[in-house]
Structure 1
């Protein structure tokens, strides 16, 4: 199949590279000249394990290419995927669909009869209807289809998720779109990956419902962690006890500083707005959003209180981990932002290190002393706090760390360490829900 991917961000680039690896001919289109030039030069603009090798292999095989000129590739496309950003709209929290609709307007006069336009971006219910209206209004005689194919990729494991998915959700309103998408995903269905065919609106809502449910599990276990600290229980025991129940499952039951990233914060908010628009309020999701927002600053206060509380001018804290999760350089809505700002509000100086997120962090966090490694970060600090669960922080030399810190205080917001092991080294240890 001949595929055009509009957008070379996280979703577009990963999806385009994986489709090309299936044997399809894929052209990724973007308006960002610098990004396209970098891709043509073999430079990947995001950090995702294995993506650089996958892109290089398929470019070399002639199945994957990049261009600024949509007009040169669109007329021959069997399927056109829209993979542009849908950030939260300023002012009201609705998903900003201007890039999606702009892509629909631009492509309309270039589409061939029989083309299938697929929204890969995360979009609210009814977006596909509007995309279809825009194209039909511009080209009344065009025979085309519009489908929804939401992505379920975890940053840091996106390629494996794409090639070995739990399911592939396809929303269609006609047989032709279904046939084209079945052919595109045929390499996966041969491996028994379930292809779920449903209505276009059903697919759009499935994406939001999935992310909201996962965000709910995270906020739930974080609140249980708070209760564990008050009653003298260990949240790890509780999480294991409920996670072994097959009806619940153990994934997303690791307590921490709250969720962030490119999906959960904006998607839960967009789902709330959709519920309001259709007079179907989502009270549970409302509570999840509020709980998560509170959680992030509460983790900053946890560190301040560990230092004694109140005004902490003159103190320094070493922050290990800045990205919202490990194995990505994504700083969007990272808990580290609120944690660091809370420390700074208390007068604390911050030294920080992240294996991949330093460049992105510098765009959103000011007055931070960025270091080149974990031990440099610890030097002279009054406390160390682990914010992101990078492997590089799982086996620190505690003897060396203790010698570098002014006082041996470790606040472990990811529960990477055993309390007994750390205290045996002479540290004061503070975990989450323990």
Structure 2
């Protein structure tokens, strides 16, 4: 029997999953009740700015069907529910859209369908969902599993094609997958698979991100100590990466606080879960507090090295996006700078991908990063775009009045850090005198 895969939800996750499975040779029917992403994709417009996605889409186009009709999913043997879960600025999730989509698709599920649910939901949601489907369709034969999704923004295509592992939650610990499910979910990816219960898989998703958040908090703390005692965080982390107990692929750079909403969402979810179970988890409180305080490093550096020297300076921001590889400004650090300094400085910005809303006032947008530097009083680097990496101080000397370089993401190399003709301020890096 021909295998047709359904995908529900055409946000970032759903688009990656639809195009990804089509690129593996499967026919894919992708549904969303929102006509905008459906119409864009049917017109050939891949609106997700992921490296390699456009090429993958073009190569698999003939195997992709995008639809606004939930009944089209009736032809699918396997359905991935891949709608990203919305969340607010504080990381609180909103399941409204998720619930509406389930209401739309449950009436059209075919007997024998296997459903793979992906999404950042509270622990216990998948088990309640299974009961809900049973109640709505008592005679429907189906199987529901939870798959932990860990795509990284800007690396989503290779993350999909070459996952480190696949974590699967089933109704009971010890349950096995059908041969058909294995051929779709596991076999194409040639990686280890971890089987567990619904609840273990749901909690594993949050636990992965909280572990990463803990490592960021650790590096931030050591970075602060470096600034107090004259040590260098870059030298320390380089040495630590040589220890076989630590992964060199971990989070080793101090930062300005969490942005983008993903880690914030997991922190909020686990804090809520702990409170509901009468647990006090000091670790989560420490992580949240540390993240909220990180922006103060940037503000102190700007006030001391730029604003104390001139009443209304001209400053340049390199980077609007909350991280490289995305155009999203969700919780981006640039928004905090705008909040505190619009009206106090002439602000120029450059980002290779992200754009400010047209209605945004008080900021001058440039299309060339060095044009934006001309005669400015200070540069602030906020996003780790590869094109910002350099160890050559000359462009800064040539373009800036008195080069003050505040590097919030460690893009500038040691030659610049030690050059007497520029003033380099980096997190956890001693200032050269």
Give the TM-score taking structure 2 as reference length: 0.91
Residue correspondence of structure 1 range 109-188 to structure 2 within 5 A: 109-173=107-171, 179-188=179-188
Secondary structure of the residue aligned to 2:93 is coil
- The equivalent residue for 1:362 is 357
Contact 1:320–1:387 (CA<8 Å) still a contact in 2? Answer: yes
User: 1:304, CA displacement in angstroms?
Assistant: 2.2
Secondary structure of the residue aligned to 1:210 is helix
| Higher alpha-carbon deviation: 363-372 or 333-342 | 363-372
Q: Following the alignment from structure 1 to structure 2, what is the Cα–Cα distance between the partners of residues 421 and 153?
A: 34
User: 1:106, CA displacement in angstroms?
Assistant: 1.5
Contact 1:225–1:255 (CA<8 Å) still a contact in 2? Answer: yes
Q: CA offsets per residue over residues 37-94 of structure 1, 9 Å max, x none?
A: 11111111121000011111111xx3222111121x211222222222323368x854
Q: Following the alignment from structure 1 to structure 2, what is the Cα–Cα distance between the partners of residues 408 and 15?
A: 45
Matched, 1:351 2:353: no
Q: Following the alignment from structure 1 to structure 2, what is the Cα–Cα distance between the partners of residues 260 and 390?
A: 15
Residue correspondence of structure 1 range 414-429 to structure 2 within 5 A: 414-421=409-416, 423-424=418-419, 426-429=421-424
Change (3 A) 1:165 1:49: same
State the Cα RMSD in Å: 2.3
Q: Following the alignment from structure 2 to structure 1, what is the Cα–Cα distance between the partners of residues 32 and 392?
A: 45
- The equivalent residue for 1:372 is 367
User: 1:355, CA displacement in angstroms?
Assistant: 0.5
- The equivalent residue for 2:328 is 330
User: 1:9, CA displacement in angstroms?
Assistant: 1.3
Secondary structure of the residue aligned to 1:252 is coil
User: 1:338, CA displacement in angstroms?
Assistant: 2.1
Partner residue of 2:196 out of 195, 198, 209: 198
Q: CA offsets per residue over residues 169-207 of structure 1, 9 Å max, x none?
A: 111126575544312134435x3x011111111111111
| Higher alpha-carbon deviation: 416-425 or 141-150 | 416-425
Q: Following the alignment from structure 2 to structure 1, what is the Cα–Cα distance between the partners of residues 357 and 293?
A: 24
Matched, 1:50 2:44: no
Q: Following the alignment from structure 1 to structure 2, what is the Cα–Cα distance between the partners of residues 145 and 276?
A: 32
Residue correspondence of structure 1 range 7-156 to structure 2 within 5 A: 7-59=9-61, 62-71=62-71, 73-88=72-87, 94-156=92-154
Contact 1:39–1:66 (CA<8 Å) still a contact in 2? Answer: yes
Change (3 A) 1:432 1:365: farther
Contact 2:392–2:415 (CA<8 Å) still a contact in 1? Answer: no
Secondary structure of the residue aligned to 1:16 is helix
Q: Following the alignment from structure 2 to structure 1, what is the Cα–Cα distance between the partners of residues 180 and 120?
A: 21
Contact 1:146–1:177 (CA<8 Å) still a contact in 2? Answer: no
- The equivalent residue for 2:405 is 410
Q: Following the alignment from structure 1 to structure 2, what is the Cα–Cα distance between the partners of residues 43 and 417?
A: 36
Q: Following the alignment from structure 2 to structure 1, what is the Cα–Cα distance between the partners of residues 176 and 414?
A: 59
User: 1:18, CA displacement in angstroms?
Assistant: 1.2
- The equivalent residue for 1:282 is 281
Change (3 A) 1:69 1:149: same
Contact 1:101–1:131 (CA<8 Å) still a contact in 2? Answer: no
Q: Following the alignment from structure 2 to structure 1, what is the Cα–Cα distance between the partners of residues 129 and 243?
A: 42
Change (3 A) 1:118 1:364: farther
Secondary structure of the residue aligned to 2:260 is coil
* Structure 1 residue runs without a partner (length 5+): none
Change (3 A) 1:157 1:384: same
Matched, 1:263 2:262: yes
User: 1:246, CA displacement in angstroms?
Assistant: 2.5
Contact 1:402–1:408 (CA<8 Å) still a contact in 2? Answer: yes
* Structure 2 residue runs without a partner (length 5+): none
Give the TM-score taking structure 1 as reference length: 0.91
User: 1:14, CA displacement in angstroms?
Assistant: 0.8
Contact 2:92–2:268 (CA<8 Å) still a contact in 1? Answer: yes
User: 1:400, CA displacement in angstroms?
Assistant: 3.3
Secondary structure of the residue aligned to 2:424 is strand
| Higher alpha-carbon deviation: 412-421 or 169-178 | 169-178
User: 1:306, CA displacement in angstroms?
Assistant: 1.7
Q: CA offsets per residue over residues 125-148 of structure 1, 9 Å max, x none?
A: 111022222222221221222211
Report how many aligned residue pairs link the two structures: 424
